[in-house]
Structure 1
Amino acid sequence: MSILHILNGDSTRYGFEQTGIEGDIMVWREVLSEGPVEENISAASFWHNREEWILKTFNEQPEDYQHKMLDELSKLNGQYDEVNLWFEFDLHCQANLLGVLAYMEQKTDLSLPAVYLICPGDFPGKADFRGMGELNGEELEYLFDNIQEQLSQEDFTIAAAAWKAYVSKNAEVLRKFVDGTEFWGSHHFLKPALQAQLNLLEINENGLNYIEQTLLDIYQSGIRTKPEIYLEFWKTEKIYGMGDAEIDIYARKLNLELK
């Protein structure tokens, strides 16, 4: 049986390579929680716009994006009997997961592969669990054996509707979807992630969204170095799943003078 594992990043890949789990690996190195998105993720324009934004925002070279993302994406054209999706609870991962599912539905004959989701919200013995990147091979095998969940066609339908609401970048549209959805299927962490996205679409009296205001509050409290700001932000805002580079996007918008 041919198996594909789609991993949420290289930090998970390092641990996954220590497991005895069979199958090919594809690493999803996108950040669909930021930047331009559109409903038709299989369109060439989608990936052109993503590449243009990634290169500008993170100062990468075209060949880097081609190698890190587009070459990996081509693996979804293969014929697999089983596909396992390894994504986490936060907005960063949930947005990427919606993108993967949208791409698969638009490009793949879903009558062939069985699609499974491994999506942990916590891990036994880890009080401040932040993601699979902190797990070793044995711990990832534990997740595979205990929380792997097969996705149904209804799960794909829910994901497609969520993706459409998400890419609208419209708070009213997204709120209507979140409030109007009573059954979330196997997407146990999608609702809180989309609620976090709503906070980014709503602008306060200072003209800032939730993350911008949070970072400004941290800065004005006297914390002025990047490492300290990152740590302070992560204490309360791990729902966003943001790394250093993503936080820097917002810090630059605010013109914060960081050490």
Structure 2
Amino acid sequence: MMDVKKFIDLKALQSIQDQFSEATGLAAIAVDTQGNYITEGSNFTDFCMKYTRNSEEGIKRCEKCDREGNGTYFCHAGLIDFSSDIVIKGEKVGSIIGGQVLAGPPDEEKFRSIARELGIDENEYINALRKVPVRSEAAIKASAQMLGSIVNQLVNLEYIQAISGKRDSILDSEIDSIKNSLNEVTAKTHDLQKVASMENILSINASIEAARAGDAGVGFAVVAREFGEISKNSGEVYERIHELVDKIQNSVRNLTEVV
């Protein structure tokens, strides 16, 4: 499961959220897929936070709305709330939720009834209700959609930047590893070439000694010639390895320049 907090700029998200609430009067907060807050609440009302959510029955109903609410909807207390999914590559990584506004002048008697159900002082509840912003339902929906779109664009852009940076780091690491391996191959090939040269010298010396021995050295001369042929072939193989290593090193250099 993707953790949105690992790559998102929380300060930027908080700033956008605060400006949105200041401009629209709607409350807003971002949560992860477990419902944990990842930003601080903006423009939260006392009606919701101090009273409704602060009662035992009220918080149960609010949490149910938080889990099940989608889009723009009326909460159990009669206010309009919204919830917009934050999605990356088709996976939900969190939500931006809020609202806490009225779609029109409230029926205070209805809210007094809700206060009694939740065990909240009626007069205090109504006083808090009168401070709740009133917005048209169309304006609330448009505002919620706008915030959801902006947050998703921000999160997806930062995800792409984070992944690109990680890929660049991995690529740099792999290129360094290839370079080190090529250097080691080159060093080992040089060592083998030295061995091949020594074998060639030994073959020449053996041929000379076989010639001095006359008929007695005929068999030894055959072995010396074979040894010399092996030395020659080994040298050609090592030279070819060097050519291939040079080509790979050139390719790595070109790749590094492109990156």
Shorter-chain TM-score above 0.5: no
Query: TM-score, normalised on structure 2?
Result: 0.21
Bigger RCO of structures 1 and 2 (CA < 8 A, at least 6 apart)? 1
Query: TM-score, normalised on structure 1?
Result: 0.21
Higher helix share: 2
